[in-house]
Amino acid sequence: NAGVTQTPKFQVLKTGQSMTLQCAQDMNHEYMSWYRQDPGMGLRLIHYSVGAGITDQGEVPNGYNVSRSTTEDFPLRLLSAAPSQTSVYFCASGLINTGELFFGEGSRLTVL
Amino acid sequence: KNEVEQSPQNLTAQEGEFITINCSYSVGISALHWLQQHPGGGIVSLFMLSSGKKKHGRLIATINIQEKHSSLHITASHPRDSAVYICAVETSGSRLTFGEGTQLTVNP
């Protein structure tokens, strides 16, 4: 098992550019989610999914899109990057109601 | 006021000390998670609790649903326990809300 694979690990964008953060898991987990982590604010939920074809908004969804066409993949799209989206992003997956969450290694995004 | 409050924000201990980190929350929850974030940034899941107490090695987590409070205890602390410990509450629909974390430093 590779666990949760997040790519890229680092990315620099200019304001207005678009990009996709990839997240894949090979553990057949129903639950997948994206978080951003900013200094002094802790982790905040962006979007999450409880199964293929199902997505829902978290605490800070504006400026981000997601889709869940397969169980394995949950990409996060920034359609028009803004400096306020400079952050470290984490993807996580897990089996619903069993507790353990598995996190990716994180992606550091800088928007200039 | 945040839905999830952790205390203390920072904690420095000497090797061998017993450590307690607290988490209070203000909403109804289906479960509470404790996570550990290593100095390199990686995050691992330690516990999920919906009631009572769980133990794994030197780590113990407790939750009091009526008082909306959870504690994470580390017995016989070691420098390798130095990390950020994060409390997160799970509400309906599997939504997670996180505390800001407690930075623990254990000195040899």
Q: Do B94 and A48 touch (CB under 8 A)?
A: yes
Distance (Å, rounded) from C-alpha B103 to C-alpha B85? 7
CB under 8 Å to A49, separation ≥6 — which residues? Answer: A31, A32, A33, A55, A56, A66, A68, A74
Q: When comparing pLDDT for A42 and A68, which is higher?
A: A68
- Report the first-to-last Cα separation within chain A, whole angstroms: 36
Which of A50-54, A95-99, B9-13, B91-95 is least confident?
A95-99
Q: Do A103 and B45 touch (CB under 8 A)?
A: yes
Query: What's the average model confidence in pLDDT over A73-93?
Result: 96
Q: Do B35 and A101 touch (CB under 8 A)?
A: yes
Q: Is B69 exposed, middle or buried (0-12, 13-18, 19+ CB in 10 A)?
A: middle
Query: What's the average model confidence in pLDDT over A102-108?
Result: 95
Note which residues in 21-80 of chain A have CB less than 8 A from chain B.
31, 33, 35, 40-45, 48, 50, 56, 58-59
Token representation of residue B59: 């780590």
User: What DSSP designation does A26 have?
Assistant: S
Distance (Å, rounded) from C-alpha A70 to C-alpha B46? 28
A99 pLDDT band (50/70/90 cuts)? confident
Token representation of residue B19: 């450590």
In 3D space, the residue among B102, B108, B106, B84 whose CA is nearest the CA of residue B5 turns out to be B102
- Is the pLDDT assigned to residue A70 strictly greater than 90? yes
Phi first, then psi: what are they for B101, rounded to 5°?
Answer: 95, 155
Give the three-class secondary structure for B80: helix
Residue A3 zone, left/alpha/beta (φ > 0; ψ -120 to 50; rest):
left
Contacts of B93 in chain A (CB under 8 A): 50, 56
Q: Mean pLDDT for chain B?
A: 93
Q: DSSP letters of B3-50?
A: SEEEE-SEEEEETT--EEEEEEE-S--SEEEEEEE-TTS-EEEEEEES
